[in-house]
Amino acid sequence: MQMHAPARSANGEPRKPFYRILYVQVLIGLILGVVTGHFWPEFGAALKPFGDGFVKLVKMMIAPIVFCTIVSGINSISDSREVGRTLVKSMALFYLLTVLALLAGLTAVSLIQPGAGMHVSVNTLDPSVAAKFGKQAAATGFADFMLHIIPHSFFGAFADGEVLPVLLISILIAFGLSRAGDGGAAVTKAVASFSHVLFVSFGFIMKLAPLGAFGAMAFTVGRYGVRSIGSLGLLILTFYIACSVFVVVVLGTLARLNGFSLWKTIRYFREELLIVLGTSSSEPALPGALRKLEQLGCRKGVSGLVLPMGYSFNLDGSAIYLTLASIFIAQACDIHLSWGQIAAMLGLMLLTSKGAAGVTGSGFVALVATLSVMPDLPVTGVALLVGIDRFMSEARALTSMISNCVAAITVSLWEDACDREVLARELDGCGTVAPAARTTIGEVAPVLGEASWITTTRSAA
């Protein structure tokens, strides 16, 4: 009897059956979640703990992964001035993208006018909705925002799990190790080893991604249902159009100008994007995106710094939502805003769109924070949006995730910290890890696209 050899991938390894590929499993989980939530809404709504549990598992890994990635990455940079250049270029790019995102939302809602003709009376709106989120959305100035980055204690940053305080500590420790010489060698080695252990552990957690996506989607459909969209369907459509135009036009142009393909980049990060779609949160995709940026040839010291920063300073999906939702409330309540008032609102949103974690509902909280200090718009207008916010949360998270991946690659190219040959080969190979990109002796890295691990081989040396 003739035996047929198993199909092999481009790097010569046996090709996994399609049902063992992570993004296929997540896609199946999403479909099953929609079906379950639609036909058995009460049961689907009860599955919320599956999605919440998966997100919490990932969030507990984010702080140490960001710390180890940034410390080992910056410590490998011989010129400390490169870190400063990377920070300046990243912030400049983030604010440019945020301005364009705000304008994209403003343009879409002004052209389509989804709130026109609703004639909602402000007196009929429920103020309890705004009061509920107002506690989380206490408006802060720039000084308060910067002080919030400084944690109460070293370990408090890891306990709270916020990215910016961990980022600050990571940069300080990295510079300390670079100046410590031989005295910091043991710490440097320990951080590198701990990083490998974290990514292996994260690989185990990612096996639960299909279950998390299933539970989160079943809850969304079961709790809110497609019928809850109702007359606000045009607003949701307007938001998705604005996000799509921003991704295609703005991010597509940015990628083209820097010599790589947006579509291939989206395809390369498809597993992470599907997880974001299922959980309505960009946080579960952070560790996997960091690893894939390294596989794309981006130096860890640059991409490992830019991507976590983007999670607080480059939330373009939330920026689009802020302008679109604010002008929608004005249209629905028959409130006319002058161009001066709109310009002031955009300036305020440049601040309120920053610093929110990439979790479900952060865009809604930022909207309440914006309206709380805008005397021209009623904060009670958020009651019009609370029922459909969940359907818009996915687009917010997806847009921000794509933007941050493109920004990380772009800044890496600007800093000559990305091998263009590796970048082109990996994007053309759609996530297949070439032998040259494998990890070194003793490293074990999760390949999220196959929900498995690359076990390293010893070199001939």
pLDDT of residue 357: 47
Across the chain, mean pLDDT equals: 78
pLDDT of residue 149: 77
pLDDT of residue 269: 93
Total of domains in the chain: 1
pLDDT of residue 72: 79
CA dihedral 161, 165, 166, 167 (to 10 degrees): 140
Q: Which amino acid is at 219?
A: F
Sorting pLDDT into bands at 50, 70 and 90, what band is 6?
low
Q: How many residues does the chain have?
A: 461
pLDDT tops 80 at residue 235: yes
pLDDT tops 70 at residue 377: yes
Is residue 222, in this structure, part of any structural domain at all?
yes
- The residue that leads in pLDDT, 188 or 12, is 188
pLDDT of residue 310: 86
What integer is the mean pLDDT of 217-241? 77
pLDDT tops 50 at residue 438: no
What integer is the mean pLDDT of 426-453? 46
pLDDT of residue 104: 94
- The residue that leads in pLDDT, 154 or 3, is 154
Is residue 120, in this structure, part of any structural domain at all?
yes
Is residue 108, in this structure, part of any structural domain at all?
yes
Is residue 9, in this structure, part of any structural domain at all?
no
- Domain hosting 56: range is 20-453
Over residues 114-138, the pLDDT tens digits come to: 888 777 777 766 565 555 555 554 4
pLDDT tops 60 at residue 459: no
Percent of the chain with pLDDT over 90: 20
pLDDT of residue 78: 60
Is residue 458, in this structure, part of any structural domain at all?
no
Query: Within the chain, what is the greatest distance between any pair of CA atoms?
Result: 81
- The residue that leads in pLDDT, 157 or 289, is 289
What CATH number has the domain bearing residue 202?
A: 1.10.3860.10
pLDDT tops 60 at residue 385: yes
Is residue 460, in this structure, part of any structural domain at all?
no
What integer is the mean pLDDT of 407-435? 82
Over residues 246-264, the pLDDT tens digits come to: 999 999 999 999 999 999 9
Is residue 1, in this structure, part of any structural domain at all?
no
Lowest mean pLDDT among 273-277, 310-314, 318-322, 400-404: 310-314
Is residue 309, in this structure, part of any structural domain at all?
yes
What integer is the mean pLDDT of 150-168? 80
pLDDT tops 90 at residue 308: no
